[in-house]
Amino acid sequence: MLSLTALDDVIEGAIEANKIVGAVVLVSHDGKLVYQRSAGFADREAGTPMREDCVFRLASVSKSIVSAAAMRLVEDGALSLYDNVSFWLPEFRPSGPAGTRPEITIRQLMTHTSGLSHTYLEPRDSPYQTAGLSDGLDGLDLTLEENMARLAALPLAFTPGTSWRYSLGIDVLGAVLTRVTGDALSNIVSNLVTRPLGMSQTRFMAAPGETLVTPYADGEPQPTRMRDGTKLVLTKSQIAALGGPNARIANYAKDVDGTVRFSPSRAYSTRAYASGGAGMIGTAHDTMRFLEAIRSGGTPILRSETVRTMTQNQVGAGIESQGAGWGFGYGWAVLSRATADTPQRPGTFQWGGAYGHNFFVDPQEKLVVVALTNTAFEGTSGTFASALRDAVYRG
């Protein structure tokens, strides 16, 4: 299955073509690490080479880890997927269509069927654009309570459970978990997921003076170094995928803002809230430990039946969260049927992070692939990501 030369060619070609600045790529097969490569620069301007132990801002890779922590609490009986969010957060009751106040369940938060959204997936004239809301990648001074209050004041995009849209639901889930346990989200995730798996570098805040991988934004003739306030605009196809079925109607992508705002220094901020959806930092090897635990049945963090639930499509047909055939489980997109668009087998689950990351697990092939780069959005959803995937299956 695995062509090492093909993987090398994809990585080196992307760096030479100035598509990505640096990357760490790991591949495991049947629990054995069969490919590991660091390439390019962790900091291009300083000439610092990428290393396998470099620490990245994980962005939405965080969602998968926090979702696993939530499922552990479900196993323990502390939380139910069918609990209403308002049971734990009485103050969180966004308005629905026609002024209603529909209930949102934990399950709907985790599967992005709650009716919540992201600022960058809403039209330019949407209340989301003037609410001062953080999408978890920005907002250096907002507390969790402040951001939740602003989000709760915004109207839902649809009645909960009737459609799908990528959202701030996992940030709300983080607020629920803190209420359930009475503990900080950072401690919850550490106790239930990262510490049992030995993910020693995966956490919510960098230490003072700690060096993280420098992030870059797509650009010509080469990617540009990110600063606080860097903005990247999603393509129409990205908006259509993340926006869900309602995003594929005429003119939706044209009307949507699509601007993702980055604040790299957020990873060091003692004032910014711990974003369950985008706030973690960590390494490629830690991410591999987590995904390999899920692939092999969940031990020591989850029961096998919980993992089966997490990795099954929970949202029905037609969602197309990553294109044709893709639904959504708890923490990732799930491939429900074979499609010509990908060599991955049905049952594959995958996700990524806006700073330039992607991963997938193909249970049929006993395969886990982790690719953390420092270049957005090329490393997440550009030609690098698809070429790397195809190279894994070629040969």
Residues 214 and 56: their CA atoms lie apart, in Å, by: 8
Structure letter (DSSP) for residue 265: G
Query: CB neighbours of 262 closer than 8 A, spacing ≥ 6?
Result: 137, 138, 215, 217, 226, 228, 229, 230, 231, 232, 354, 355, 376
> How much is the CA Rg of the chain, to the nearest whole Å?
19
Buried b (16+ CB within 10 A) or exposed e, 157-182: bbebbebbbbbbbbbbbbbbbbebbe
- Cα angle 150, 376, 219 (rounded to 5 degrees) comes to 120
Per the CB < 8 A criterion, the answer to whether 358 and 386 are in contact is: no
- Strand-pairing partners, residue 57, are 281
Query: CB neighbours of 31 closer than 8 A, spacing ≥ 6?
Result: 292, 296, 366
Cis before 90 (ω within 30): no
Helix axes 169-181, 144-152, angle to 10 degrees: 120
The HSE-up count of residue 384 (CA atoms within 13 Å, CB side) is: 32
60 is catalytic: yes
Query: Where do the H-state alpha helices sit in 102-189?
Result: 106-111, 144-152, 169-181, 185-189
- In a 3-state reduction of DSSP, which class is residue 321? strand
Per the CB < 8 A criterion, the answer to whether 347 and 333 are in contact is: no
Q: Which one of the listed residues 28, 38, 60, 167 is annotated catalytic?
A: 60
Residues 151 and 14: their CA atoms lie apart, in Å, by: 38
Cis before 300 (ω within 30): yes
Q: Which residues are catalytic?
A: 60
